[in-house]
Amino acid sequence: MNSERVKGMNKQYDVVVIGSGPAGYVAAIRCAQLGFSVACVEKWKNKKNKAVYGGTCLNVGCIPSKALLDSSHKFLEAQNDFDLHGISLQKLGIDVPKMLARKDKVVNQLTDGIKGLFAANKVEGIFGTAKIKGPNTVAISDCDGDNHDLEAKYIIIATGSKPIDIPPVPIDDKIIVDSTGALEFDEVPKRLGVIGAGVIGLELGSVWARLGSEVTVLEALDSFLPSVDREISRNVSKIFGKQGLNIKLASRVTGYSLGKGGKKQINIEYSDQDGEEKKTFDKVIVAVGRRPMTEDLFDDKLQIDLCDRGFVKVDDQCKTNISNIFAVGDVVRGPMLAHKGSEEGVMVAERLAGKKTQVNYDLIPSVIYTHPEIAWVGKNEEELKEEGVDFKTGSFPFAASGRALAANDSEGLVKIIADAQTDRILGCHIVGPSAADLLQQIVISMEFSASAEDIGLTMFSHPALSEAVHEAALAVNGHAIHIGNKKKR
Ligand code: FAD
Ligand code: NAD
C-alpha cells in the first residue's frame, strides 16, 4: 500500500480524498491508520483568505454556531437567572465583536488541529480545487494557480453541501444572509427575520434572540419540526414561544423591497392563511436547507450517477457506480450531519482494508442545540403507528428531576418508546438540559439492543440529569419512582 513518487510523473496515492470536512478528514485519517498512502484535497479559504481544513462543520457550521449559542446562553443566564442564585451584576452588556473573536479563536484552534492530525497520521494535505478526470485521476488546481494530476487507486468524494437560495429573497451578504453571514453580524439586529424554522433557523434565531433581537421565523410548512415526535415538538413550540421566538407557520415568502432606510431595512413579503402580509426587518437569515456540492467536480466523460437533487448516488456502503470511487457525508443521501459523514468515512476506509464495517443508518442521533436542547434517535410515535408496530412509552419531566431543579433548568422531558411485546427500545426523544449527552446513553443502549428494563435495572448516580433517562425507562413498564405511573405493574 505504499505511494510511489517518480520524478516528473504524477503523484500516486492509494487513496485521494476530496474535501476535508468531518466526512473527508476522518476518512483520510482512518485510511492512513490502516496503512494506505493518502492525500486529502481542500479548496476552502477562510475570511482572511487563508486555506484551511475542516469544511463547513469547523469553519461555518457546527463549531462556530455552538460557540455563539454558548456565548448567548451565558448572556441570557446572566440577565435572567443570576439574580435567582443571589448573584448581582452592576451592569450587563454584550460586546459582539469580542464574542465573534472568541468564536473565531475556537474555529482556528480546531482547523489548525486538523493540520496536526494530518501530520501525525501522515496524510498529505493539499490545498487546491479537485476535479475527477477519470476513475483513477484527480486534477488539482492548487492555491498558487498551478495545475497537476494525482493518480489514485481509490477516490473518496467528500465535497459536502452549501446553502440553498430562494429566488424571492436572494442573498446579498449585507442585509439578506445565509447561515455563514448569520455568524458574523457585528451588532445585534433589532428586528431579525429568519426564513425556515429548521435546525439552522432555530439555532441561529435563538442566538440573536437571546442577545435582544426581536425574531420572527417564517416557515413554509404548516407543521412545526415535522420529523420530531409530536409530543416533543408541541412542548418545544410552547418553550420557544415563551422565549420570544415568533414562529409563523404556513408562511410562504414571495418577495421583498428595501425599506425607507435604503439598504438598512427590508420588507419581506409573504403569504399566509390571512392573505398577503409584509414585515420589516433589519437583517434576514435564509435557512431553507442545503444542497450537495458537485459543481465542476466531474469531467464530462466520467459517467458518475447522480440522484435527482444532485446527490452522488451510492449504496449502503457508500460505493458509487464506479467501483473504485466512493462518496460520503452531505454529498450523499441521508441527514446532513457531521457525525453521519464521519461514520461513513470510517466505514469506507475500513472496507477498503477488507473489514466488514457498516453504518447503522437506523441509529443516527439528531440534536437541535437550542436551550433546552432537542434530541432524538430511532422511531417516534407517529412513525410506529404508521408502521403498525405495537409500542409502549414512558416519560419523565425534568420538573421532577432534583438535579434539573437545583440548576434552575427544568423545562422539558425524556420520552422512551419500547416494543410492547419484547420491551426493546425503539426510540428516545428528549427536550431538556443536556439532551444531546443524555440521548447518547440511549444510542449506546440501542446499539446493544437494550430493553427498557435493562436501563431500569442499571444504577444511575444521584443527583444527575441522567436520572430522568432512568425514570423514563422505568415508566415504560409502570415502575417510575419519582412520578405517578400511568400503568401499575
Ligand atoms: P463539508 O463539511 O461541507 O466539507 C466539504 C469540504 O469539501 C469543504 O471544505 C469544501 O471546501 C471541500 N470541497 C468541495 N468541493 C471541493 C473540490 N472540488 N476540491 C476540493 N475541495 C472541495 N451538523 C451536526 O452534526 N451538528 C451540528 O451541530 C451542526 N451544526 C451546523 C450548523 C450550521 C450553521 C451549518 C451550516 C451546518 C451544521 N451542521 C451540523 C451540518 C454539518 O456542518 C455538515 O453535515 C457537515 O459539515 C458535512 O460534512 P462533509 O464533510 O460532508 O462536508
Ligand atoms: P432544514 O431542512 O433543517 O430546515 C429548513 C426549513 O426551511 C424547513 O422547515 C423547510 O420547510 C423550510 N423552508 C424551505 N423552503 C422554505 C421557504 N421558501 N420559505 C420558508 N420556509 C422554507 O435546513 P437548515 O436549517 O437550512 O439546515 C440545513 C442542514 O444542516 C440540515 O439538514 C441539518 O441537518 C444541518 N444542520 C444540523 C444542525 C445540528 O445537527 N444541530 C445544525 C444546523 C444545521
The DSSP-derived string for 185-200 is -SS--SEEEEE--SHH
Give yes or no for residue 8 having a pLDDT over 70: no
Output the CA torsion 438→441→444→447 (10° steps).
-90
- CB contact set of 423 (below 8 Å; sequence gap of 6+): 451, 452, 453, 476, 477
Residues paired with residue 275 on neighbouring β-strands, in sequence order: 272
Classified by CATH at the fold level, domain 3-163+291-361 comes out as FAD/NAD(P)-binding domain (3.50.50)
Distance 336 CA to ligand 2 centre (A): 10
Region 269-289: mean pLDDT is 96
**CATH homologous superfamily of 372-476:** FAD/NAD-linked reductase, C-terminal dimerisation domain (3.30.390.30)
d(CA 271, CA 181): 26
Q: pLDDT: is 142 or 14 the higher one?
A: 14
As annotated, the residues of the chain forming the CATH 3.50.50.60 domain(s) are: 3-163+291-361, 176-288
Q: Which pLDDT score is estimated for 30?
A: 98
In this structure, which residue's CA is closest to atom 2 in ligand 2? 289
Pocket test for ligand 2, best of 176, 245, 286, 290 (most atoms within 8 A of CB): 290
Region 26-40: mean pLDDT is 98
- Per-residue HEC secondary structure of 438-468 comes to HHHHHHHHHHCCCEHHHHHCCCCCCCCCCHH
In this structure, which residue's CA is closest to atom 19 in ligand 2? 220
Q: pLDDT grade, residue 3 (50/70/90)?
A: very low
pLDDT, tens only, 287-313 = 999 999 999 999 999 999 999 899 999
Is 268 near ligand 1, meaning CB less than 6 Å away? Answer: no
Region 246-271: mean pLDDT is 90
Give the position of cell 484552534: 109
What is the average pLDDT value for the chain, to the nearest integer? Answer: 95
The ligand placed nearest to the CA atom of residue 298 is: 1
d(CA 391, CA 381): 8
Whole-model pTM? 0.97
Please list the active-site residues: 462
Helix (H, G, I), strand (E, B) or coil at 348: helix
The ligand placed nearest to the CA atom of residue 345 is: 1
Is 20 near ligand 1, meaning CB less than 6 Å away? Answer: yes
Distances (CA, A) of 103 to 44, 58, 194, 337: 18, 11, 22, 21
Classified by CATH at the fold level, domain 176-288 comes out as FAD/NAD(P)-binding domain (3.50.50)
Distance 65 CA to ligand 1 centre (A): 13
As annotated, the residues of the chain forming the CATH 3.30.390.30 domain(s) are: 372-476
Q: Which of 82-91, 255-264, 365-374, 463-472 has the lowest mean pLDDT?
A: 255-264
Q: Which atom of ligand 2 is nearest to the CA of 179?
A: 26
Residue 303: burial class (beta carbons within 10 Å; 0-12, 13-18, 19+): exposed
Residue 471's nearest CA partner among 376, 418, 394 is 394
Q: Which pLDDT score is estimated for 7?
A: 40
Give yes or no for residue 261 having a pLDDT over 90: no
pLDDT, tens only, 397-432 = 999 999 999 999 999 999 999 999 999 999 999 999
Distance 314 CA to ligand 1 centre (A): 18
In this structure, which residue's CA is closest to atom 31 in ligand 2? 336
pLDDT, tens only, 118-162 = 999 999 999 999 999 999 999 999 877 889 999 999 999 999 999
In this structure, which residue's CA is closest to atom 8 in ligand 2? 198
Is 16 near ligand 1, meaning CB less than 6 Å away? Answer: no
Residue 354: burial class (beta carbons within 10 Å; 0-12, 13-18, 19+): exposed
Output the CA torsion 258→259→264→269 (10° steps).
-60
Distance 57 CA to ligand 1 centre (A): 5
